[in-house]
Amino acid sequence: MTPNVLFAAPDRLWARYQAPLTRALEEVGVSARLGPDAGPPEDVDYIVYAPHPGLQDFTPFTRAKAVLSLWAGVEKIVGNRTLTMPLARMVDAGLTEGMVEWVTGQVLRHHLGLDHVLSHQSGEWVQNVPPLARWRPVTVLGLGALGAACARALAALNFPVTGWSRTARDIPGIRCLHGEGGLAEALGSGQILVLLLPLTPETDGLLDAARLALLPDGAVVLNPGRGPLIDDAALLAALDAGRLGHATLDVFRTEPLPPSHPFWGHPRVTVSPHVASETRPESAARVIAENIRRGEAGEPFLHLVDRANGY
């Protein structure tokens, strides 16, 4: 049987994914009818999905075996009551590599004081020697696939890394904390804070004024996770008061970030336009193809979303 695979995503993405998905399906031995028009809804077997207005009601897809997300975050779809079939999120080596590179680069940028070096090229010989990494504690909130990979990469550079997650984790070389008490301890220990939590009702606004106050004076906040993890007003207040040294933000509550937003002109904020971990078609297509192969072979799907937890 040839499965019908509906590519349900913004139009611009089909041109990028058509060839990689076709190749990936061929590589795993699946001959599929693939595209934005894969037949009537009742004949569709799989839905490759990225959020867009064109598909909000999954009720007509009575034969669909799974919805396969192109995004790692599923907060925009997990609460859809019409989506009753299995939902798989994107867990991809390319996503992980991109995130590790961005986080490691930004941590080193702030640790080494590169902004100061690059802005003081006046000819005056001033030596500001940074501490060794072993004396710069880093906290990573979120120890899923991305957070754990970033924590390990930073630990390999000799940063003392504390990781926090909602439930207990054990990662060699990482000080792992969990629960509300563990969160306060983790925040209090990191001179550089990296946010890599999923967005759920429990994490929306997690970094509010009270929790920002737990960070050491002069701490740096890096957010490549989800924009709503941070209370924007509280963050700006802490930066304006000089309590925090800097915030480098890759994600925002509203994207693209409006030109009038105060983050753009703030001297202690760096705006990064959501580039930390972009889904790359070549590697993501292989993840999608493998799940379709599994579905056709009657094997368990990879990376299924836990609806109760929201990720």
Q: Which residues are known to be catalytic?
A: 226, 274
The C-alpha atoms of residue 48 and residue 55 are separated, in whole angstroms, by 11
Residues sharing a CB contact under 8 Å with residue 1, sequence separation 6 or more, in sequence order: 296
Q: Provide the greatest CA pair distance for the chain.
A: 73
Residues sharing a CB contact under 8 Å with residue 101, sequence separation 6 or more, in sequence order: none
Cβ–Cβ < 8 Å for 191, 220 = yes
Q: Which among 84, 82, 99 is positioned nearest to 142, based on CA atoms?
A: 99
User: How many angstroms separate the Cα of 259 from the Cα of each of 231, 239, 250, 262?
Assistant: 19, 20, 15, 8
The C-alpha atoms of residue 256 and residue 40 are separated, in whole angstroms, by 34
Read off the tokens for 276.
């930390």
Q: Which among 213, 188, 177, 192 is positioned nearest to 131, based on CA atoms?
A: 192
For residue 29, the one-letter residue type is G
The C-alpha atoms of residue 146 and residue 101 are separated, in whole angstroms, by 11
Read off the tokens for 284.
């993501």
- State the residue for tokens 């509300």: 180
Dihedral angle of Cα 177, 179, 185, 188, to the nearest 10 degrees: 110
Radius of gyration of the chain, Cα coordinates, nearest whole angstrom: 21
Eight-class DSSP state of 20: H
